[in-house]
């Protein structure tokens, strides 16, 4: 069973506000959104269209080994960014920051690249689950613990297409 926690209307309003904030902060600067696949694809698509400034868009994919319902902290690069990052202002776009392991790994990875700056944007910030000291520069919603699906977020690759974000009851999680 799943319970709606963020409606499409609530998400759209928050994404619009984030887009306006980012547009203001990066006015006149070469901006690139880098979406972290797969979960970020829907959020990035909406966030990009909420911007009022020029932007380049690319994606990166990392894989983590271990449990299915949370990341293990053991991470490897699965797909590299392909656009030229030189002197670009990068915003790493995530659907969710949970333990913080993935974003910490990405920040360390981008620290070695010739960017102008690197910031982070997540739609969902699960602060109480944090194991690594990471604070998102832009965050849509801070939510308590609980397994979330929809708007890009999956459970076993299902539910990403849902237009709202739902809490999935533990009885629905089988591994
Ligand atoms: C999810 C999410 C983040 C990461 C956050 O990705 O998209 O990348 O977990 O967890 P963390 O803060 O504990 O590292 P997942 O590995 O489920 O892959 P997906 O994006 O393909 O759903």
Q: Which of 98, 125, 137, 145 is catalytic?
A: 98
Residue identifier of the C-alpha nearest atom 7 of ligand 1: 39
Q: Taking the CB of residue 163, how many other CB atoms lie within 10 A of it? A: 12
Respond yes or no: is residue 98 known to be catalytic.
Answer: yes
- Whether 168 and 2 have beta carbons less than 8 Å apart is answered as yes
Per-residue tens of pLDDT for the chain, all 175 residues: 999 999 999 999 999 999 999 999 999 999 999 999 999 999 999 999 999 999 999 999 999 876 544 555 589 999 999 999 999 999 999 999 999 999 999 999 999 999 999 999 999 999 999 999 999 999 999 998 899 999 999 999 999 999 999 999 988 776 5
Q: Which pTM value belongs to this model?
A: 0.94
- Beta-bridge partners for 138: 121
23 CB under 6 A from ligand 1? no
39 CB under 6 A from ligand 1? yes
Counts for the chain of helices (H) and strands (E), in that order: 3, 9
The CA angle 85-90-96, to the nearest 5 degrees, is 130
38 CB under 6 A from ligand 1? yes
The position carrying tokens 């271990």 is 66
């Amino acid at each position: 069973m799943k319970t709606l926690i963020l409606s499409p209307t609530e998400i759209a309003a928050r994404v619009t506000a984030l887009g306006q904030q980012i547009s203001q902060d990066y006015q006149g600067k070469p901006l690139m959104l880098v979406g972290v696949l797969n979960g970020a694809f829907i959020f990035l698509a909406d966030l990009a269209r909420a911007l009022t400034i020029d932007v380049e868009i690319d994606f990166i994919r990392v894989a983590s080994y271990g449990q299915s319902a949370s990341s293990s902290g053991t991470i490897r690069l699965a797909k590299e960014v392909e656009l030229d990052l030189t002197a670009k202002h990068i915003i790493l776009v995530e659907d969710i920051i949970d333990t913080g392991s993935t974003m910490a790994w990405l920040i360390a990875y981008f620290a070695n690249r010739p960017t102008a700056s690197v910031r982070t944007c997540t739609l969902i910030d699960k602060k109480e689950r944090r194991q690594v000291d990471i604070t998102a520069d832009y965050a849509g919603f801070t939510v308590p613990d609980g397994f979330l699906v929809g708007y890009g977020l999956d459970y076993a690759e299902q539910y990403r297409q849902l237009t709202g974000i739902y809490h999935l009851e533990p009885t629905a999680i089988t591994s």
